[in-house]
Amino acid sequence: MEIPVIRNILEANSKIGEELRKLFAAHGILALNLISSPGAGKTSLLERTLRDLHAECRMAVIEGDLQTDNDARRVAAAGAKAVQINTEGGCHLDAAMVRSALAHFDLAALDILFIENVGNLVCPVEFDCGEDGKVALLSVPEGDDKAEKYPLLFHLASVLVLNKIDLLPYVDFDITRAVHFATRLNRGLAVFELSCRTGQGLNAWYDWLRTRRAAKKAR
């Protein structure tokens, strides 16, 4: 009896998600949904991105967490407008939450909107938030088999960010194996190996953002 209820919830969410996608398209906003396990480095990636690209791109962030506004304050300190959504125990953001948060932004003054989802590799994947693409983050301390264990995220993602590569000498993580699992699920997956702490590999991520932003503006 639960299956129709779940289907109805997802269908209703997808309808709002499509409305959001049209809204973002009308304003030329590139919307990206960042999904990872807790502690993989979503906020750190945003902090570096916001600081390094602030002179050339207008960016904002919707932060999703069960509790606290810690990440929103970190993002705001990096110079971007941030809106915090506390799910009070919910394991994901949905399209209705994102739509409500948009009331706090001037969409005409945005180039890129980052949606930092609740730390979870399962629930957030199924809920369309109107994004142009999902960004899967995997940090090397987590293990190289995450794509095999949680295939849906890597199948649907546009990007895989392998973060904390500065720790590779200290952990048992095989990048070739991790990339193999992910790209076997998604041959079009863009993969970036980087360290938010040292800055290694960030320029390739920034170039991808520039290209996608330009393509969105040109539509």
Q: What is the pTM of this model?
A: 0.95
pLDDT digits (tens, 9 = 90+) for 155-175: 999 999 999 999 999 999 999
pLDDT of amino acid 217: 87
Q: What is the distance, to the nearest Å, from the Cα of residue 128 to the centroid of all Cα atoms in its chain?
A: 12
For 36-68, letters b (16+ CB in 10 Å) and e give: bbeebbbbbbbbbbbebbeeebbbbbbbbbeee
Average pLDDT value for the chain: 95
Low-confidence residues in the chain, pLDDT < 70: 1-6
Amino acid 1: pLDDT: 41
The CATH code that applies to domain 2-218 is: 3.40.50.300
Least Cα distance to 181 among 139, 148, 215 occurs for 148
Domain layout of the chain by residue ranges: 2-218
Q: At what angle do helices 202-218 and 42-53 cross, to 10 degrees?
A: 70
